[in-house]
Structure 1
Amino acid sequence: MKRLTTGFAVIAVAALLTTTAQAGNVTPDVIFGSGNPNGGWTISQSNGVEVGLRGKQRFGPVLPNSGGVYQATPGISSGTAATWNYEFSANVDWDGTSGLTLADVQVMLEIDVDPSAGVSFLGPFDVFSAWTDNAVGTNATGNGGGVIDNANLNLYNVVQNSQNLGWAPIAFDPYADGIYDFRLTVLDANGGTLAQTTAQVVVTPEPSSVVLLGIGMVGLVGFGMRRRKQNQAAA
């Protein structure tokens, strides 16, 4: 998994993305990196094409997902990589009805580079133009069984990869809180949309820390109320 090296325009978008896609497993499985779990994907299926996005703890589990919104923690995993990855999957013949291969379509990804509630997309760009290490396969490919073969896309109908904002040439602070949107689209030969899904990663402190802070604040308020009652009783 290498850094994104191709230059793309940044497109300003006024509103946050929303998604009505379902959550679940991608077809056929997670084919990049043996042992990576399936599940937690924000998936859309139409025209015989399945697209999925998710957030995942780097070297760890899938991030908590609520309606296509994933919660990650700030910080560095190693090198310049954030603690979390964004992952994409496109299967252009997931149910055997489209007859398409990866050579028949464009798989386009847009990446939000604005950590605020606003959205500024890097892209859209073709994932095969951006990266040379995508895992490709077919509906028969097992977990971790994808291969790197950009030269023979007519042989495959599945492409997946796991990437990190810390590898992209953008102004990204892995230690800062942020909200990052992603949009994955598969286009036909005429530029028409076959399938599209969106997901969002919200980078905030560790959820347990937030809960503990909340409990602590409640405790302080309760303590203050008890002190006031004691003082009133003593007066």
Structure 2
Amino acid sequence: MKLLPKTLLALLLLGCLGSVSQADMLSSNVFFGSGNSNQYFTVSQAGGVEIGMRAKLRYDPNDGNQPKNFDQSSDLGYAIEEGSYYFSTPNYGTDRAIWNLDWSVNSDFNQGTPASTTNKLSAFTYNINFDFDPAGAGSNSSTNYNPVNELYNDNSYGNKTTTSANDVTPGPLVFGFIPTAPFASDLNDDYTITQNSTNVGFSGLLPGTVTQNGIYTITFSVLDGLIPIATNQIKVYAGVNPPAAVPEPASMALFGMGVVGLIGGGAARKRLKQKREAANSNEG
């Protein structure tokens, strides 16, 4: 299949950018595990779709390796730009990063209002691109994966009013590879929101980078076929000093995306990071 002409693609991306809004909270609840708060997210909204991402301290060395809802930027004296997250060291162990990516995608964030699109999750395709730029010697590493896999995933599913007390998850695997009911494909047909928390060293997602200092650029894209509907992007600085914050709001440029040769669009305002407060332990 031929790629879209550059002029047409640019117009489509401008359409996505035109309705993007920014926030630190999802328009829905956070329900993928008890103790996970609705804060410190980088959120984009376009085409009726909302994408939220944050990087959090999965293994807190000062609290028995208990998970937190925030990064280490404030604790270490950094006030950094919106969409950026900082950790003093990249790794917890040989195959796990010290941080997790928390993500949420809502296929109809206007659900229950006149502006509702009525789109369920199955209306779109999804991709998360992890791009790692090591500090010092080395070459970039990049990988893509579908976080809303229809064959099997362990995501939490729900709608706008769902909480961690009544979310739904796919059935377990039998013999390690045979999915059981409820099936992910059925949940994608029934629900508008799915959420999860992912460690970059888990399940083969760039496992070799978790011991290296560097910058992760993470791009979450929602597509209708080859047409980008919504895109969000964050940067994770692991063992690398983040850039200084810009004190006034500003728009981000178009984001790069490698999965299908397309370019995703998104914007996020700059802000000083809020003072991190102690939070309840949460599931990773």
Query: If the length of structure 1 is used for normalisation, what is the TM-score?
Result: 0.70
| Greater strand content | 1
1:127 partnered with 2:147: yes
The secondary structure found in structure 1 opposite 2:189 is helix
Counterparts of residues 72-83 of structure 1 (less than 5 Å): 72-74=87-89, 76-77=91-92, 80-83=95-98
**Which position in structure 2 is the counterpart of 1:187?**
223
Q: Which residue of 1 aligns with 2:169?
A: 148
Flag the 1:75–1:203 CA change in 2: closer, same or farther, 3 A. closer
Alignment correspondent of 2:8: none
Q: What runs of 5+ residues in structure 2 fail to find an aligned partner?
A: 1-16, 59-66, 74-79, 171-183, 243-284
C-alpha spacing 1:144/1:196, structure 2 compared with 1 (3 Å): farther
Q: 1:121 to 1:145 in 2, by over 3 A?
A: farther
> What does residue 121 of structure 2 align with?
102
Is the 1:35–1:143 Cα contact (8 Å) retained in structure 2? no
What is residue 86 of structure 1 aligned with on the other side? 101
SS in structure 1 opposite 2:201?
helix
Return the TM-score normalized by structure 2.
0.59
* TM superposition shift of 1:79: 7.0
Structure 1 residues 173 and 108: alpha-carbon distance in aligned structure 2, compared to 1, 3 A threshold:
closer
Give 1:11-50 correspondences, 5 Å limit: 22-50=22-50
Q: Note the C-alpha offset of 1:115.
A: 2.6
Q: 1:144 to 1:84 in 2, by over 3 A?
A: farther
| Aligned alpha-carbon RMSD (Å) | 2.8
State the distance in 1 between where 2:57 and 2:85 align: 10
Matches within 5 A, 1:58-73: 58=58, 59-63=67-71, 64=73, 66-73=81-88
Deviation larger for 109-118 or 50-59: 109-118
Equivalence map 1:216-227=2 (5 Å): none
Letter in 1 for 2:81: S
Q: 1:115 aligns with which of 113, 134, 138?
A: 134
Q: Structure 1: how far apart are the matches of 2:240 and 2:215?
A: 13
Tell me, in whole angstroms, the C-alpha distance in 2 between the residues paired with 1:55 and 1:85: 6
Q: 1:203 to 1:21 in 2, by over 3 A?
A: farther
Query: Are the structure 2 counterparts of residues 133 and 113 from structure 1 closer, same or farther at C-alpha, using a change threshold of 3 Å?
Result: same
Using the TM superposition, give the Cα deviation of residue 62 of structure 1 relative to its aligned residue in structure 2, in angstroms. 1.4
The alignment-based identity, stated in percent, is: 28
Q: CA deviation at 1:116?
A: 4.2
SS in 2 for 1:103: helix
Cα deviation for residue 120 of structure 1 reads: 4.4
Rounded Cα–Cα distance in structure 2 between residues aligned with 1:115 and 1:75: 11
Alignment partners' CA distance in 1, 2:153 and 2:84? 28
TM-superposed CA distance for 1:134, in Å, is: 1.2
C-alpha separation between the residues in 2 aligned to 1:143 and 1:40?
A: 19
**Going by fraction, where is helix more abundant, 1 or 2?**
1
Contiguous gaps of at least 5 residues in structure 1:
1-18, 208-235
